[in-house]
Amino acid sequence: MKVITYISNVAVGIFRLMQGMYVAMLQMIRPKVTEQYPENRGKKEQFERFRGELIMPHDENNQHQCTACKICETNCPNGTLQITVKSVLDEATGKEKKALDTYLYDIGSCIFCALCTQSCPQNAIEWTPQFEHSVYTQGKLVKQLNKEGSSLKSKVKSDK
Ligand code: SF4
Ligand code: SF4
């Protein structure tokens, strides 16, 4: 009985060994997918849904879509976004209305959860594939997404 157990254990051991070798051999003949970074920096492509860095697109007239509603700031789980609002005169109605003053994004605390982009009713912010964020000082990780002198696109449309 003990001899039979011994032989069956040896057989199982050999089978497991062959299984391991089969997996190793498969890996040897499969095409390599290792990225040679940073040598491939110039031609490196990220997949479409990659969340590299948050941006606020501006058109050729320096206009964006952000209405300063602060929904993204409220939904951000860790205070990565800080939005300040200013009052501007709406020339169409002659009344004061709120507009975006500064839109600050601290990429150093962002967890790339995308709750901001998914909750924005205006699609005013989106992701770029930019993934290199190394800087020498922490303050440089805080970026202002609205450009200097930019304005709300829909405001200009309503003024026409
Ligand atoms: S991705 Fe998440 S953590 Fe980063 S700014 Fe948007 S809501 Fe905040
Ligand atoms: S980015 Fe979108 S959600 Fe955030 S304040 Fe602007 S319009 Fe509102």
Tell me, what DSSP letter sits at residue 7?
A: H
Residue 80: which residues within 8 A CB-CB, separation 6 or more?
Answer: 105, 106, 107, 109, 110, 111, 116
Residue at 88 is within a domain: yes
159 pLDDT more than 70: no
φ, ψ of residue 83 in degrees (nearest 5): -115, 130
Q: Using one digit for the tens of pLDDT, what is the confidence trace for 126-147?
A: 999 999 999 999 999 999 999 9
pLDDT at 42: 83
User: Best mutation site among 78, 106, 119, 143 for ligand 1, i.e. most ligand atoms within 8 A of its Cβ?
Assistant: 78
For ligand 2, the distance from its centroid to the CA atom of residue 19, given in whole angstroms, is: 54
Residue at 100 is within a domain: yes
Report the predicted TM-score, pTM, of the whole model to 2 decimal places.
Answer: 0.77
Residue 150 belongs to domain with CATH number: 3.30.70.3270
Residue at 32 is within a domain: no
For ligand 1, the distance from its centroid to the CA atom of residue 111, given in whole angstroms, is: 6
